[in-house]
Amino acid sequence: MRIFFRHRLANSVLLLIAVFISTACFEVREEIAIDKQGAGTYSFLIDMSSSKNLIDMAMGMQITKDRTPFAQMDSSFAKGIERLTNMQGISNVQAINNREQYVFGMMFDFQNVDALNAALNQSAQEQPEPNSMATFTFRKKELSRSSRSLVSSLADLEVLRSTPEGAAQIQSLLQGASYVYTIRPKTGKIRSFSNKQGELQENGKAFYYRVGLLDMMESKVSPANTVKFKF
């Protein structure tokens, strides 16, 4: 199984930042907005804007941004976007590429949760397994999520920690990073949720879950959750 985020994307980018920045804050954000028919919008973002000044200093040591791993990040996301564009039930696929604020990722609309699951499996695997587990299920105004997440394919921690220097750098970097996961009904409010590490925000119109990115990548915490809506 070959992960398109892994090696090509996150390892090089995270190590680049870690070389120049002893501690940094950034977020990996996953968000789903869903309507009562089970259609909606999904986004996955790597947001480094809070460390913009520090990264600008690091980038200043490069001749051009096009020669940094951020160019490699663009290429990796572009390949993932190309695969999603041709999938049934997926539309309005967009690549997020803000090099000024260092925000990268993707966004797309899904016709139903089956299409969303297929897209997530395609994003995580160049050749998805035939019976890949569903990340989301939707029925009767209820959205359930398993513990699976694209965060697990962000980087290969074993590779990053293969040397003492790499282990120290990536540990320092990831300790300052967060994983944020949000669910919003397109209309109505959230009636209840099962993951007690999360909370309701926006006057009950959003479920919000925030944990350490390293804890997520090491499976010390789980985003598994069931949200009931009042559409």
The tens-digit pLDDT sequence of the chain (231 residues) is 333 344 444 554 555 555 445 455 788 999 999 999 999 999 999 888 877 776 666 666 554 444 555 555 556 666 677 788 889 999 999 988 887 887 888 899 999 999 999 999 887 665 545 556 789 999 989 999 999 887 766 655 565 566 776 666 666 667 778 999 999 999 999 999 999 999 999 999 999 999 998 898 888 999 999 999 999
Burial of 2 (0-12, 13-18, 19+ CB in 10 A): exposed
Provide the 3-class DSSP secondary structure of residue 40: strand
pTM (predicted TM-score):
0.82
b/e burial code for range 73-108 (CB count within 10 A of at least 16 → b): bbebbeebbebbeeeebbeebeebeeeeebbbbbbb
CA angle 168, 172, 174 (to 5 degrees): 120
Question: Six-digit token pair at 227?
Answer: 């949200």
Output the CA torsion 144→147→150→151 (10° steps): 130
